[in-house]
């Protein structure tokens, strides 16, 4: 019922029949730009090394040749145990980077039912559900985790009221999230001082 009233309100209040078209859903960046920043600094550092050595060749700077030093260090070298340690660490970092490089861009927002794109952040979703649960009769404390598809509520309730409280939480949260385009699945776990029921 509440959606119907909201919809009719919306129609009355919209002066322009078209409004703005909804933009593409927001999308996060994750950690990749920070990695890109690091690689660009590495590139810069390599360039500085090359310029340093070319200045030394030109006689403008009197210093040892860094690249030659590096190649001399690596030349005529036998395999050593530390290389295994460093190598395994490098491979682990490489695997982590591989995962990040192949992961799609993160989406951290859920769409609200609205004419123009209105999105709720998953952090916002968690806070909203936490607030909703805290207002439910019988709930002492509550902790919530939320993603775009799933909301998990675990609440502590007064002893002997676990079932009723769970029902109330379920109803309150689902009512609250009815405004979402695709409401996430809600799972409620209620503990009383006697343990999980």
Binders of another protein among residues 130 to 189 (CB under 8 A) are 130-132, 135, 176-177, 179-180
Residue 74 or 196: the one with the smaller Cβ distance to another protein is 74
- Residue among 121, 173, 174 at smallest CA distance from 147: 121
DSSP state of 112: B
67 vs 158, beta carbon nearer another protein: 67
Closest to 125 in 3D by CA, of 115, 111, 136: 111
Instruction: Answer yes or no: are the C-beta atoms of 152 and 144 closer than 8 Å.
Output: yes
Of 1, 63, 64, 81, the one binding another protein (CB under 8 A) is 81
Q: Which of residues 17-46 bind another protein (CB under 8 A)?
A: 18-24, 26-27, 29, 32-33, 35-37, 39-46
Half-sphere exposure of 161 (CA within 13 A, CB side): 13
User: Quick check: 103 and 10 in contact, CB under 8 A?
Assistant: no
Question: How long is the chain?
Answer: 197
Tokens 């799609």 sit on residue: 104
**Residue in 61, 69, 116, 160 binding another protein, rule: CB under 8 A:** 116
Choice between 27 and 185, CB closer to another protein: 27
Task: CB nearer to another protein: give 123 or 182.
Answer: 123
From the list 54-62, 150-158, 163-171, 189-197, the region that binds another protein by CB under 8 A is 54-62
Which region, left, alpha or beta, applies to residue 74 given φ > 0 means left and ψ of -120 to 50 means alpha? Answer: alpha
**Segment contacting another protein by CB under 8 A, of 97-105, 137-145, 150-158, 184-192:** 97-105
With contacts defined by CB under 8 A, name the span among 7-15, 136-144, 159-167, 189-197 that binds another protein.
7-15
Query: Could you tell me the smallest distance in angstroms from the CB atom of residue 88 to another protein?
Result: 6
For 111, other C-beta atoms within 10 Å of its C-beta total 16
Rg (CA), the chain: 29
- Report, in Å, the least distance between residue 164 CB and another protein: 22
Two tokens at 152? 């998990």
Minimum CB separation from another protein for residue 63, in Å?
14
């Amino acid at each position: 019922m509440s959606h119907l009233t909201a919809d009719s309100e919306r129609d009355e209040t919209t002066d322009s029949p078209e409004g703005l078209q909804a933009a593409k859903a927001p999308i996060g960046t994750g950690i990749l730009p920070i990695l890109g920043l690091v690689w660009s600094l590495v590139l810069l550092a390599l360039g500085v090394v090359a310029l340093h050595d070319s200045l030394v060749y030109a006689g403008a700077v009197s210093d040892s040749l860094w690249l030659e030093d590096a190649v001399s260090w690596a030349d005529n070298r036998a395999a050593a145990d530390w290389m295994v340690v460093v190598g395994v660490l490098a491979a682990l970092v490489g695997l982590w980077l591989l995962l990040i490089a192949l992961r799609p861009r993160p989406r951290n927002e859920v769409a609200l039912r609205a004419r123009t794109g209105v999105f709720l952040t998953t952090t916002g979703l968690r806070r909203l559900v936490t607030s909703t649960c805290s207002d439910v009769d019988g709930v002492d404390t509550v902790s919530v985790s939320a993603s775009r598809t799933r909301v998990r509520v675990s609440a502590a309730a007064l002893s002997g009221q676990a079932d009723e409280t769970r029902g109330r939480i379920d109803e309150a949260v689902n009512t609250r999230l009815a405004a979402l385009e695709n409401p996430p699945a809600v799972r409620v776990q209620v503990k009383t001082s006697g343990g999980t029921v």
